[in-house]
Structure 1
Amino acid sequence: MAKVAFIGLGVMGHPMAGHLKTRGGHEVAVYNRTAEKATRWVETFGGRAAPTPAEAAAGADFVFSCVGNDDDLRQVTTGPDGAFGAMAPGAVFVDHTTASAHVARELHAAAAARGLAFLDAPVSGGQAGAENGVLTVMVGGDAEPYAAAEPVIGSFARMIGHMGPSGAGQLAKMVNQIAIAGLVQGLAEAIHFAKAADLDVEKVIGVISKGAAQSWQMENRWKTMAAGEFAFGFAVDWMRKDLGIVLEQAKATGARLPVTALVDQFYADVQAIGGNRWDTSSLIARLDPPKRG
């Protein structure tokens, strides 16, 4: 059992922290900017709620975070009352935010200057993966703290991979989002085409999902896409944030991402019709507008 802190109790962080307590058996302190969420977490799982990131992190062997963006991450690490100021030398900070590779490298250096370790460890699997403890985690950072943190991360993950040095975890998550963006648009067009051709969508998916077209998105999203139901899952606003990071990184490296850039604009179209909080599978709404009752 380790002493653990978790910073950020949103739809991902809340169940992840819960698995650290219930499945991992760790001693867990939590912090959330909205204190009521931390109080509710403690009522559900036990542990301790702290009023600042620093107080949550004091004495912890591992400090986890899952916050909104680069600036939020800086605030809870190196800002006033940030975790870095209270962590003991040798402690490991594991960040699950989808953020830039730049901020990962920046905080890796800031941690090292204090005798701490920093791992960038974005996740894939969405809210359902977090709730079921089956996330995929892509980790960047030094090998020794990765080896120490891996079994603890395993409390809420089924796949953990060390991608390379600091920033490599965030870069791997960008690869993940690039692949998903194009795939969901292709699936949206396929279902739209099947409907326009008067095919039985269920029968078609039943056949092609057993062949080369199969994907997680097809298996888990085709029914709701065909029905125009999107009130769940990974929000369009979050996907646009992620794709913005991807496209900025592509500019820096000279990578050409024409399909990703196009799909990003398609998601902007979904936002324009009120789909900010819809699941990312709502790309089909541009082609088959959902019925409004």
Structure 2
Amino acid sequence: MATLAFIGLGNMGYPMAGHLANHGHSVRVYNRTPARTAQWLSEYQGEGFDNISHTVRHCDAVILCVGRDDDVRDILTGQHNAIAAMNPGTLIIDHTTTSAHLAEEMASAAKNAGLRFSDAPVSGGQQGAINGQLSLMVGCDSRDYDEIQRLTAAYTRTIERMGEIGSGQKTKMVNQICVAGLIQALAEGLHFAEKAGLDRDKVMSVISQGAAGSWQMSNRHQTMIAGEYQHGFAIDWMRKDLDICLEEAHRSNTELPVTALVNHYYQELQSMGAGRLDTSALLLRLQNKDES
């Protein structure tokens, strides 16, 4: 068992840190909202801190699950400068979805301080975090991979080392590119079925068993038909991720026409005040277009 610092108790990080505590690790938690830390401590065994430097001191590994590039930078090398407080050799596991450039920058800063860094974004959503069934895409030094596997086993269903630093983030970009296209296609299919006067539940029941089937179809079509959009990853976060994908594609001179289009549709939903709805609200956009 290890002494672990877990920074970021959001919808994903809260249950992930809980799995680590239940697995027998000594878990030290920090969240920028102290009430969230107090709530976590009421459910799990661990220590809570109100200072990041104190949280990470004397830990075997420091795990981050926060929001954006700037959040990670602020924690590790910026205002909180957590890197300066870590013992030499400490392993940093960053589950935040960020740019590959940020991962490379943080890895360089960690190496200069005698630390180890890995980018390990996750897929599986809040439900996957709650159930301990997340997929991890890891960019790291090959010598650190076994330790990352062991430390994240409490909430991992699938884990794979994708290559050197930044490879995990680039793989997560592929994930988001594929998901965005799938959700838009599902929204269009449901919208077409409705306009054609079909029983959408029956349509989904039939086609989900064939070539059109997907996780999105199986898990989101019923809530989309019901007009319920509080069941997963928020549009605001998807926009952040797709912006990262498109910036990386621009650097590598790669065309992502469908991704760019869906990103624009999510921008439209944000302008409608729907940024906190889940990503399947692409159907809502189509329905609103009809009404207008």
2:21 matched residue in structure 1: 21
1:8 matched residue in structure 2: 8
Structure 2 unaligned residues grouped into runs of 5+ = none
1:228 matched residue in structure 2: 227
Q: Which moved more, 1:146-155 or 1:247-256?
A: 146-155
2:106 matched residue in structure 1: 107
Cα distance between partner residues in 1 of 2:124 and 2:273: 24
- For the aligned residues, what is the CA RMSD? 1.2
Q: Percent identity?
A: 52
Q: How does 1:123-202 map to 2 (within 5 A)?
A: 123-202=122-201
Instruction: Give yes or no for contact 1:29–1:47 (8 Å, CA) kept in 2.
Output: yes
Instruction: Give yes or no for contact 1:7–1:66 (8 Å, CA) kept in 2.
Output: yes
Cα distance between partner residues in 2 of 1:156 and 1:82: 27
1:49 matched residue in structure 2: 48
Count residues with an aligned counterpart: 289
C-alpha deviation, 1:17, in angstroms: 0.5
C-alpha deviation, 1:80, in angstroms: 3.7
Cα distance between partner residues in 1 of 2:121 and 2:251: 20
Cα distance between partner residues in 2 of 1:76 and 1:171: 22
Cα distance between partner residues in 2 of 1:81 and 1:102: 20
Structure 1 unaligned residues grouped into runs of 5+ = none
Instruction: Give yes or no for contact 1:96–1:123 (8 Å, CA) kept in 2.
Output: yes
Deviations 1:82-128 (A, max 9, x none): 32112112210000101110010011111111111100011111111
Q: Which amino acid aligns with 1:97?
A: T
Deviations 1:179-232 (A, max 9, x none): 000010000000111111111111111111111111000000001111211023
Cα distance between partner residues in 2 of 1:194 and 1:58: 57
Cα distance between partner residues in 1 of 2:116 and 2:18: 23
Cα distance between partner residues in 2 of 1:182 and 1:80: 38
Instruction: Give yes or no for contact 1:102–1:167 (8 Å, CA) kept in 2.
Output: yes
Instruction: Give yes or no for contact 1:97–1:122 (8 Å, CA) kept in 2.
Output: yes
Q: Which amino acid aligns with 1:49?
A: G
DSSP 3-state at the match of 1:115: coil
So what's the TM-score if we normalise by structure 2?
0.96
Instruction: Give yes or no for contact 1:129–1:135 (8 Å, CA) kept in 2.
Output: yes
Instruction: Give yes or no for contact 1:228–1:289 (8 Å, CA) kept in 2.
Output: no
Instruction: Give yes or no for contact 1:21–1:45 (8 Å, CA) kept in 2.
Output: yes
Cα distance between partner residues in 2 of 1:273 and 1:259: 21
